[in-house]
Copies of this chain bind each other. A is one copy, B any other.
Amino acid sequence: MGIIVQKFGGTSVADPQKIHNVAKAVIREKENGNDVVVVVSAMGHTTDYLVKLANEVTCNPDSREMDMLLSTGEQVSIALLAMAIQANGYKAVSMNGQQVGIITECIHSKARIVDIKTEKLQKHLNAGKIIVVAGFQGVTPEGEITTLGRGGSDTSAVAIAAALNAQRCDIYTDVEGVYATDPRIVPNVKKASEISYEEMLELARVGANVLHPRSVETAKQFNVPLRVRSSFNLDNLGTLIIGVDNMEIYKPVAGVAADSSQVRILLSNLPDIPGTAAKLFGALAKNNISVDMIIQSLANNGTNSIAFTVASDDLNNTIETLNSVESSKSAEILIDKDIAKVSIVGAGMVDRPGIAADMFKSLAQKDINIKMISTSEIKISCLVDKNKASDAIKALCKEFGLESDEKAVVKGDLPNL
């Protein structure tokens, strides 16, 4: 018995019937003897509708007024969900970000939470009430309404769970849990029953988008057990995301993901003098361009080659920056857009030295050429041709035993983050 924080996204509260289904899931947890705080997003396409309205008024809406506008979406959901819970004979109370005291920085449209007041929450819980909290929104110490940006509602839920020292935070989505890879590529992929924060973060960084990294990082920081589970199948416990130290077993490879949003840039004929790389990457960093993979190789003729990847969106900015740096002005620049980064992630790989070799061998067997490699403690990434990405994922799932006998459940779109 303890406090359970539940979070339901916009698709789960899209209409009155669905709101009643959510009420059932909430009451079920209350009936288990827990205190329940439930965090909800705006109904279905409400946010899109409000953004459209704003754009009809002005092409450049002020971000403060945008937050004022968008925060109404969640306030509608919480009132309706509280009513639905009450209609079933349970005590419930809705609270917006201002009323709870979800204190944020004063940065509109992407504020970070700095504090959550627990006094009122605790008072309502002590009175036996189910609390329905508006996700995605907060308030500055001066009373300005803010929104949290991408992954906001999940982050609200995790942060409230941390503040209340909750037993667990359950993120209800339209998938059944965390799969080892995208079920649309490998239909019989295994669902993880447990995965570590670190693995989840690496998977999110390399292309899996079940949870926004921000909420996982918050959960990791405050050691809040997170459960990703289906709002359509309440009997399925989904995937528990916890610290590595708390895991019972962890596999060398927990998941496989591909990211096709990068481009590779190859600079050849660079002067082989100290500080060249530092100057290049210093200039890129100064222009807020994140560089992902980097390889440097010495050519025979005493010149250097450097290859690296950046987000496609940053390509133009990257080329401009390179042209402004003295040492790369004379270099030859080659751009490769048809690439994908395929990664395997697993907290167990640190203890098993052969994993990298197994990955390379598996790709080679499928005639997939590896263009770049990068590794971290719990991740190995290989750059391959974009049209080989699906084949690579399938081969790697087979290689590392991530297939099951059952077909994974895929419910339309990915969850509303």
Chain A residues packing against B (C-beta within 8 Å): 16, 19-20, 50, 53-54, 56-58, 60-62, 64-66, 68-69, 71-72, 75-76, 78-80, 82-84, 86-87, 93-94, 96, 98-99, 143, 145
Known: A19-B57, A76-B72. A83 touches B62 (CB 8 A): yes
B87 touches A79 (CB 8 A): no
A84 touches B58 (CB 8 A): yes
Name A20's contact: one of B16, B57, B72, B76 (CB within 8 Å): B57
Known: A53-B16, A53-B80. A86 touches B68 (CB 8 A): no
Chosen A-B contacts, 25 in total, with CB atoms closer than 8 Å, are A16-B56, A19-B57, A20-B57, A50-B76, A53-B80, A54-B79, A54-B80, A57-B80, A57-B84, A57-B87, A58-B83, A62-B83, A62-B86, A65-B82, A65-B86, A68-B75, A68-B78, A68-B94, A68-B96, A69-B75, A69-B76, A69-B80, A71-B75, A72-B76, A75-B75
**In whole angstroms, what is the CA distance A84 to B54 when docked?**
9
The count of identical subunits is 2
**In whole angstroms, what is the CA distance A98 to B60 when docked?**
26
Known: A98-B98, A99-B143, A143-B99. A54 touches B69 (CB 8 A): no
Name A79's contact: one of B69, B82, B93 (CB within 8 Å): B69
**In whole angstroms, what is the CA distance A244 to B253 when docked?**
85
A79 touches B56 (CB 8 A): no
In the assembled complex, which residues on chain B have CB atoms less than 8 Å from the CB atom of A19? 57
Name A94's contact: one of B65, B76, B78, B82 (CB within 8 Å): B65
A57 touches B16 (CB 8 A): yes
**In whole angstroms, what is the CA distance A103 to B410 when docked?**
49
Name A75's contact: one of B58, B62, B72 (CB within 8 Å): B72
Closest to A93 in B: B64
Closest to A82 in B: B65
